[in-house]
Amino acid sequence: MLTVETRQAVNPEYAKTLDTTGLRRHFLAQGMFRTGEIRLIYTHYDRFVIGGAVPGDQPLTLAKVEETKTPLFLDRREMGIVNIGETGTVVAGGETYTLSRGDVLYLGAGTGEVTFAGKGRFYITSCPAHRRLPARLITASESKEVKMGTSATSNKRTINQFIHPLVMESCQLVLGYTTLEDGSVWNTIPSHIHDRRMEAYLYFGMDEKSRVLHLMGEPQETRHLFISNEEGALSPPWSIHSGAGIGSYTFIWAMAGDNVDYTDMDFIQPEDLK
């Protein structure tokens, strides 16, 4: 029922030596959504965890994860859950939360076991937390909506901020998602890095044959990954993260690190990329 994969941190000098297979092995997140399973990727980037839970016919409970060496996974962690499927439920801390597609649930440290049920496809993000904060269900309509980009530059998009200082308080987790408008393909342009935080992307809402060309690497040493539906990318603090897709798509961004300042970015203009 539970599978955990560990990803070691990669420094930029080593990343320059990797071929396509090596880049995908270290930075691409695949196979997280399998019916009847919880599948996690435990990274050494700020001890961030991403993964998926797809209950199917039977509920799935996330309790102990050996990699954290704590009695329960959330004893010293906070969690953000996004439902990218049909309506499902999450039971945690003695409460039952109903998540429609696009809703986000925040769970604070010390919550205890977490049980997933129903027809949801639950994307899991988690990072260490030094204090406990109250759980909160944030519907799509309660998120902070930000419009960015233009049709002329093919990056007109809507950013929905959920676990974010403008919406709610968290310890270090920041999470939301971005949806491209029809005719726009570029996300997060101009690109940026933030040495104070790591970041992870999950791309979803894509056709089976569609792909996103995800750009990564140092600004002067860019690399790329071709990513399909319900796959993600791990972005170290030294790496840019942006891309362009075939057809419509949405991507969930989640971060952890020294601060929760969403605007703490070092922008890299397209003419400065190589």
Distance CA 232, CA 40 (A): 12
Rounded CA separation 28/241 (Å): 13
| Residues in contact with 20: Cβ distance below 8 Å, sequence separation at least 6, in sequence order | none
| Annotated binding-site residue? 181 | no
* Residue 130 among known ligand-binding residues: no
Q: Are the beta carbons of 170 and 81 closer than 8 angstroms? A: no
Known binding residue 164? Answer is no
Burial of 151 (0-12, 13-18, 19+ CB in 10 A): exposed
Say if residue 241 carries a ligand binding annotation.
Answer: yes
Neighbours of 138 (CB within 10 A): 24
Q: Which phi and psi angles does 229 have, rounded to 5°?
A: -60, 140
Which residues line the annotated binding site for Zn(2+)? Answer: 192, 194, 199, 241
Which residues line the annotated binding site? Answer: 192, 194, 199, 241
